[in-house]
Structure 1
Amino acid sequence: MSKISGESAKIVEFLEEFVEKTELLSLTMLFKWDKEREYVERYLETTNGGLKNFFRNRAERGHSASNVIKAEEGTVVNQPPEKKRVVSMKRRRAEEGGSSKKVIDLTSNRCCGKEVSLDEVKRSTERQKPLHGYVGEEDLTSVWSEHFPMSVVAEEHFQSKIDLELLGYVDDKTRAQFTQVCAARLLCLGRFEELKADNEAERKKQESNWGQKKIELEGKLAAAMEQVAAKDKDLLELKADHEQLKGKLKKFEKEKTELEARVVELCVEKKEAETSKENHGYTMLEIGFERARKQAEYFHPDLKFDNLDPIKVVHNGTLVDDDEVDVEGGGDHDPQDGEA
Structure 2
Amino acid sequence: MELSASTGQNAEKGVVVNQPSEKKRSISMKRRKAEGEASGKSRVIDLMNPKCCGKDVSLEEVKMFTKNQLKLHGYVGEEDLTSVWSEHFPFSVLAEEHFQSKTDIDLIGSVDDLTRAQFMQVCAARLLYVGRFKELKARREAEQKREESVKVEKSMERGKKLQLAMEQITEKDKELWGLKNEIADLKGKVHTLEKNKAELETRIVELCGQKKAAEVSKEEHGYDMLLAGFERAKKQAEFLFPDVSFDKLDPIKVVHNGTLVDDDEVDVEGGGDHGPDS
What residue number does 2:253 align with?
312
Structure 2 residue aligned with 1:203, among 144, 165, 172? Answer: 144
Tell me, what secondary structure is at the counterpart of 1:314? strand
Residue 302 of structure 1: CA displacement? 5.6
Matched, 1:321 2:265: no
Q: Which amino acid aligns with 1:84?
A: K
Residue 241 of structure 1: CA displacement? 1.4
What residue number does 1:284 align with?
225
Runs of 5+ in structure 2 lacking a partner? 1-27, 34-46
Matched, 1:227 2:163: no
Structure 2 residue aligned with 1:154, among 73, 95, 101? Answer: 95
Q: Which amino acid aligns with 2:224?
A: T
| In structure 1, distance between residues paired with 2:113 and 2:104 | 15
Q: Which amino acid aligns with 1:105?
A: N
What residue number does 1:105 align with?
49
Q: Which amino acid aligns with 2:108?
A: L
Of all paired residues, the percent bearing the same amino acid is 65
What residue number does 2:184 align with?
243
Structure 1 residue aligned with 2:72, among 112, 118, 131? Answer: 131
Tell me, what secondary structure is at the counterpart of 1:319? strand
Cα deviation code 1:92-114 (max 9, x no counterpart): xxxxxxxxxxx95254x6xx133
- Matches for 1:167-186 after TM superposition, within 5 Å: 167-186=108-127
What residue number does 1:15 align with?
none
| In structure 1, distance between residues paired with 2:155 and 2:48 | 40
The alignment yields a C-alpha RMSD, in angstroms, of: 2.6
Q: Per the alignment, do residues 127 and 324 of structure 1 end up closer, same or farther by CA in structure 2, a change over 3 Å counting?
A: same
What residue number does 1:91 align with?
none
Cα deviation code 1:220-249 (max 9, x no counterpart): 223222222222221122112112211221
Q: Which amino acid aligns with 2:218?
A: K
Higher-Rg member (1/2): 2
| In structure 2, distance between residues paired with 1:233 and 1:85 | 82
Structure 2 residue aligned with 1:84, among 20, 30, 41? Answer: 30
What residue number does 2:203 align with?
262
Cα deviation code 1:32-62 (max 9, x no counterpart): xxxxxxxxxxxxxxxxxxxxxxxxxxxxxxx
| In structure 2, distance between residues paired with 1:290 and 1:163 | 168
Cα deviation code 1:189-239 (max 9, x no counterpart): 111111122222222222332333233323322322222222222112211
| In structure 2, distance between residues paired with 1:282 and 1:230 | 76
Q: Per the alignment, do residues 149 and 227 of structure 1 end up closer, same or farther by CA in structure 2, a change over 3 Å counting?
A: same
Residue 265 of structure 1: CA displacement? 1.6
- Matches for 1:11-30 after TM superposition, within 5 Å: none
Q: Per the alignment, do residues 152 and 299 of structure 1 end up closer, same or farther by CA in structure 2, a change over 3 Å counting?
A: same
Tell me, what secondary structure is at the counterpart of 1:185? helix
Runs of 5+ in structure 1 lacking a partner? 1-81, 88-102
What residue number does 1:53 align with?
none
Cα deviation code 1:260-304 (max 9, x no counterpart): 112112211111111111111111111112222333344455655
Q: Which amino acid aligns with 2:30?
A: K
| In structure 2, distance between residues paired with 1:326 and 1:311 | 15
| In structure 2, distance between residues paired with 1:334 and 1:271 | 30
What residue number does 1:165 align with?
106
What residue number does 1:122 align with?
63
Residue 329 of structure 1: CA displacement? 2.9
Cα deviation code 1:108-155 (max 9, x no counterpart): x6xx13321111111111111111111222222111111111112212
TM-score, normalised to structure 2, is: 0.75
- 8 Å Cα contact 2:255-2:261 kept in structure 1: yes
- 8 Å Cα contact 2:77-2:86 kept in structure 1: yes
Tell me, what secondary structure is at the counterpart of 2:100? coil
Q: Which amino acid aligns with 2:194?
A: E
| In structure 1, distance between residues paired with 2:64 and 2:189 | 81
